[in-house]
Structure 1
Amino acid sequence: MTSAAVMASAAVTLSMVIAPVAIADPAVHADPAAAGEFAITSEVPTLAELDAQIRLLVASPAPDDVKAAQLEGGVRAVVVPKMIYRVGFFRPPKGSSVVTGPETHEPDRHTAVINASRQGAPTVQVVAEWRRIDGRWKLASKSLCNGIKTIGLPIPCNFE
């Protein structure tokens, strides 16, 4: 391999390593692993807020208590996002996720679609529900159960 080819190959590899990763809304959630500061408290959650929450759950190494605060099932349900994070299904560099519409909204219930993809597999779409509990929007346990079934994870759905 010529030195020009080696340099070109190195440049491509470096650009892949340092390429920016899109975040739903940096102002909403610049550091997903920040100590328990993340909470969706708006009357109607935005797609950017829901997307940031899902990224916090499945694409960040946030501590268990931070993840538990985002889940209707609390600490009992943390096993699901922890496993998805460890396997790396839906986080860079080989996967991604984004929350999109259509959305529905009621005072204490909101739905949207989680689109999750990983290299070499079709995009998985899960209609997800969030519940407003003590003024915070949390991912509903039934949505975690739907995700477990859709992905085929060996986790019992016993945190509802």
Structure 2
Amino acid sequence: MLRRLCVHTAAMIAAASFAPAAHAQPAPEAEFAITSEVPTLAELDAQVRLLVATPAPDAVKAAQLEGGSRAVVVPKMVYRIGFFRPPRGSSAVTGPETHDGDRHTAIINASRQGAPTVRIEAEWRRIDGRWKLASKSLCNGIKTLGLPIPCNFE
């Protein structure tokens, strides 16, 4: 009886230790924005990972896209399929890069198990001081991946 009481008490303490706080802070991705004059590859990579490798809310993903909420269907589908996130795949933004005022380009490399790496030439546009993945880049991705999504958010 005493042993059961000790085990039960230990389990309750452990559960309380790992319980979320009543006033949890918002998730860090909720405030993600690239606002630098010229975005870095690390910033662009973090944005792409937020879009395709996390279950971030639609509003968070929409804030990263030129097409806003109309374009969220693309990263949501890529996330659900799971091609470019662990454990089946990954993504990385690499050069070569170009920069011209409010436009920046780089390459999104997406890999999945058993398939060759997909390279998508991507463009970001600075809109209201924030770098957002351009709609034409999403359309390139739709075409490259063969997704059944109409590209009607440009």
Mark the runs of 5 or more structure 1 residues left unpaired by the alignment.
Answer: 1-32
Any idea what SS the aligned residue of 2:79 has?
Answer: helix
Aligned partners of 1:93 and 1:118: how far apart in 2? 9
Deviations 1:102-127 (A, max 9, x none): 00001100000000000000000001
Deviations 1:77-131 (A, max 9, x none): 0000000000001000010000000000011000000000000000000010000
Q: TM-score, normalized by length of structure 1?
A: 0.79
The alignment of Structure 1 onto Structure 2 pairs a total of residues equal to 128
Aligned to 2:122: 128
Note if 1:41 corresponds to 2:44: no
Q: TM-score, normalized by length of structure 2?
A: 0.82
Aligned to 1:153: 147
Deviations 1:35-92 (A, max 9, x none): 5200000000000000000000000000000000000000000000000000001000
Note if 1:56 corresponds to 2:50: yes
The percent of aligned pairs where both chains have the same amino acid is: 86
Query: Please, which moves more after superposition, 35-44 or 91-100?
Result: 35-44
Q: CA RMSD in A?
A: 0.8
Any idea what SS the aligned residue of 1:123 has?
Answer: strand
Aligned partners of 2:29 and 2:54: how far apart in 1? 12
- Structure 1 segments of 4+ aligned residues over 3 angstroms from their partners: none
Aligned to 2:11: none
Tell me if the contact between 1:104 and 1:111 (Cα under 8 Å) persists in the aligned partners: yes
Note if 1:99 corresponds to 2:108: no
Aligned to 1:70: 64
Aligned partners of 1:71 and 1:64: how far apart in 2? 11
Q: Which amino acid aligns with 1:130?
A: W
Match of 1:110 among 104, 109, 128: 104
- Higher Rg of the two aligned structures: 2
Any idea what SS the aligned residue of 1:36 has?
Answer: helix
Any idea what SS the aligned residue of 2:28 has?
Answer: coil
Mark the runs of 5 or more structure 2 residues left unpaired by the alignment.
Answer: 1-26
